[in-house]
Structure 1
Amino acid sequence: MGLMHLYQHKEVSNDKLEVSELIFGAAVFSGWHNHIEENWPLLSVRRAFELGINAFDTSPYYGDSEKILGSAFYTLREEFPRSSYYIFTKVGRYGAKHFDYTAKQIRESVKESCKRLCTDYLDVVYAHDVEFVKFEDIVGEGGALHELFKLKEQGKIRYVGISGYPLDVLFKVARFQYERDQPIDVILSYSHYCLHNIKLVDYIQKFRYTGVQYIMNASPLSMGLLRNGKPPEWHPASTGLRYAVAQSALLATENNFNISKLALQFALYLDDITSTVIGLSNPTEVEEAIASLQEVQSRKREEKTTPENEKRILNEIHQILEPYFNRSWDSPPKDH
């Protein structure tokens, strides 16, 4: 693909998060989204390093993702030392309906994640899917955030974050922490800046006002919805949205575009965020994602507008998706 090797052997900053514009989403290593060949993770992680990605996002909830990622880091440790990348993981969610936000579990979870990821510290740890638990479990004495900030003081983790789907819940927690003079360092939002939903825009400044330093936009492909072929069976999108996306994907293909590339580049134009987290299953997906990023960077640098044919297709896609635009699904689901 003619992609240059962007990686230089340099240490990442310990004073602030200087993450690449794309963060490698390792939830794909769970196998929930696609089939994963055994050799893909190592090849993908190596290619990501070579092309300048310096941050990786995972969770104990994502099957064997942490273990698989840690194995890749260990194998590549001579070539790409721990000091050259950031690790983001999560605590509190361990199964579809298994949540434990107690201090004891948070400590144990961080310890186990370090072991699986072959590291003695973690850069960012999020309280995972905060909307599924009581507010007190998140912010209360002996709750998840209380313990995470303790671990930050001890140097076991460097930044404390929260992740979740409903933006109002993320903001409620961020505001509470700001008012107690212990602001959240990092917010991870997902599927709220993509082709069918851009609600994150309304919250960026709100998060900033509550002292949040870093905002991550995950799932620019809306958890595998914005792609050719069917989304995963478990996907919470409505039947109507699924059908509209399928129509959009077909329209893109008929006009020599790829819905996934259009969706990723659309998300990469979002300013005022720190980075975009995208799942990367294999080396080809890594290369395609970096190529899309470089194309957007080039357009921004040279102040080029989107080509007319691409603009036309995007407008038609937005018309197809318009009946479902900015509609968020229930999280937790009604049957939880």
Structure 2
Amino acid sequence: MTLAKSVDQNEYKPFELSFGAGALSGAYNSIEDHWPVEACREALRLGINSFDTSPYYGKSEFILGDALQAIKDEFPRSSYYISTKVGRYGYSVKDFDYSAERVTASVEESMKRLHTDYLDIVFCHDVEFVPFEHVVGPNCALEALFRLKDQGKIKYVGVSGYPLEVLLRIAEHQSAQGRPLDIVLSYCHYTLQNTMLAKYTPQFRAAGVRYVLNASPLGMALFREAGPPDWHPAHPPLREAAHKCASLAKENGLNISELASMFAFAGRDAFNLTSTVIGLQKKEEVRTAIDAWQLVKQREQGTQTVPQVEANVMAQITDLLRPFKDFSWQSPSAKEMADPSQ
């Protein structure tokens, strides 16, 4: 008999932290076979009840689906939310397909990989890569997703991407059409370096968006001791500044990833954010994320204070990042726009 608590089926009520399963793709570093099951079990035991993935994230859907299937006796499908994406299936713009036919097939494929007969959330993935009409037009992505919602196969329809102005344009269009988006997923826009999501969230709400998620609070690994992966879109000056931030933190007995996580978690209540999606690979990372979140909560409640050394380091980090404050890199990049066949 399981003690797992069922999630609300009529309202999306995720924990303040969500499990970013893109980290299970191996794009950031290689993972051990036993990590996903252990990480998912630890996450659910500690209260995290929402998992985010995509067909674009390598084998992430397969790995996440198998991991959740392995612990179904303790945590049945009713005890968590799953979000995935449609439309993006490779690196370049040539690997996108926002047609209603492909979107519908993609949802079915994802359900099979994830061992489920319904999906809580489906996002149009990286909407800035395709023409606006491919997202909102007839016989295109959102039309197909709302049809699947009407059929009960998915519960919430959303869009994800990097440029906030693109996400907002789609949200406002859908509101004007009388079928507002349920949810928006933004990434790398509430971090130590860029907090623009706080300014856009009220506009999303005004357009009828019920839920707003912040993904990649570490800036897609920009703020970690090992530094970002080679493919990261940040330009060299920003990379160098982030490296200096990591070194400064380490010199003072702190960890840049934990500082970046706490910064993002602390912003949640300030602009009514639904949840922060953070990439997790193993149970130790789950515990570290929960510990950081709990510390933020204790500070908000006044039961813990910020150590002076941390306050000093954060002030210096702010200075190091000031030249890049709210800078957003190009998306799609020139490389992603190129036709690989030519």
Segments of 5+ residues of structure 2 without an aligned counterpart are: 338-342
Query: What is the alpha-carbon distance in structure 2 between the residues aligned to residue 303 and residue 290 of structure 1?
Result: 17
Superposition RMSD in Å: 1.1
The letter for the 1-side match of 2:64 is L
Query: What is the alpha-carbon distance in structure 1 between the residues aligned to residue 256 and residue 29 of structure 2?
Result: 17
- Does residue 90 of structure 2 align to residue 95 of structure 1? yes
Partner residue, 2:289: 289
The letter for the 2-side match of 1:329 is W
Kept in 1, the 8 Å contact 2:3–2:74? The answer is no
Partner residue, 1:75: 70
Query: What is the alpha-carbon distance in structure 2 between the residues aligned to residue 302 and residue 12 of structure 1?
Result: 30
Cα distance, 1:29 vs structure 2? 1.1
Number of aligned residue pairs: 330
Query: What is the alpha-carbon distance in structure 1 between the residues aligned to residue 213 and residue 194 of structure 2?
Result: 15
Cα distance, 1:208 vs structure 2? 0.4
Cα distance, 1:222 vs structure 2? 0.5
Partner-residue secondary structure (3-state), 1:302:
coil
Cα distance, 1:14 vs structure 2? 0.9
Partner residue, 1:262: 259
Kept in 1, the 8 Å contact 2:295–2:304? The answer is no
Partner residue, 1:4: none
Query: What is the alpha-carbon distance in structure 2 between the residues aligned to residue 207 and residue 307 of structure 1?
Result: 36
Cα distance, 1:298 vs structure 2? 1.4
TM-score, normalised relative to structure 1: 0.96
Query: What is the alpha-carbon distance in structure 1 between the residues aligned to residue 174 and residue 320 of structure 2?
Result: 40
Cα distance, 1:304 vs structure 2? 5.2
How does 1:165-314 map onto structure 2 within 5 Å? 165-270=162-267, 271=269, 272-302=272-302, 305-314=305-314
Query: What is the alpha-carbon distance in structure 1 between the residues aligned to residue 165 and residue 20 of structure 2?
Result: 24
Query: 1:305–1:182: structure 2 CA closer, same or farther, 3 Å change rule?
Result: farther
Cα distance, 1:303 vs structure 2? 6.7
Query: What is the alpha-carbon distance in structure 1 between the residues aligned to residue 297 and residue 61 of structure 2?
Result: 31
Segments of 5+ residues of structure 1 without an aligned counterpart are: 1-6
Cα distance, 1:157 vs structure 2? 0.1
Partner-residue secondary structure (3-state), 2:123:
strand
Partner residue, 1:158: 155
- Does residue 8 of structure 2 align to residue 24 of structure 1? no
Partner residue, 2:333: 333
Cα distance, 1:305 vs structure 2? 5.0
Q: Deviations over 1:162-191 (max 9, x none)?
A: 000000000000000000010000000000
Cα distance, 1:66 vs structure 2? 0.2
Partner residue, 2:134: 137
Cα distance, 1:43 vs structure 2? 0.8
Query: What is the alpha-carbon distance in structure 2 between the residues aligned to residue 129 and residue 85 of structure 1?
Result: 24
Partner residue, 2:340: none
Partner-residue secondary structure (3-state), 2:69:
helix
Q: Deviations over 1:27-66 (max 9, x none)?
A: 0111001110111111111111111110000000000000
The letter for the 1-side match of 2:171 is A
Query: What is the alpha-carbon distance in structure 1 between the residues aligned to residue 46 and residue 164 of structure 2?
Result: 32
Partner-residue secondary structure (3-state), 1:56:
strand
Aligned-residue identity in percent? 51
Cα distance, 1:8 vs structure 2? 5.3
Query: 1:325–1:136: structure 2 CA closer, same or farther, 3 Å change rule?
Result: same
Query: What is the alpha-carbon distance in structure 1 between the residues aligned to residue 135 and residue 44 of structure 2?
Result: 34
Instruction: Please say which of residues 236-245 and 305-314 is displaced more in the overlay.
Output: 305-314
Query: 1:321–1:8: structure 2 CA closer, same or farther, 3 Å change rule?
Result: farther
Query: What is the alpha-carbon distance in structure 1 between the residues aligned to residue 39 and residue 19 of structure 2?
Result: 9
The letter for the 2-side match of 1:68 is I
Cα distance, 1:309 vs structure 2? 2.1
The letter for the 1-side match of 2:124 is A
The letter for the 2-side match of 1:139 is V
How does 1:307-322 map onto structure 2 within 5 Å? 307-322=307-322
Partner residue, 1:66: 61
Query: What is the alpha-carbon distance in structure 2 between the residues aligned to residue 154 and residue 48 of structure 1?
Result: 30
Partner-residue secondary structure (3-state), 2:89:
strand
TM-score, normalised relative to structure 2: 0.95
Query: What is the alpha-carbon distance in structure 2 between the residues aligned to residue 94 and residue 305 of structure 1?
Result: 46
Cα distance, 1:308 vs structure 2? 2.5
The letter for the 2-side match of 1:50 is R
The letter for the 1-side match of 2:212 is I
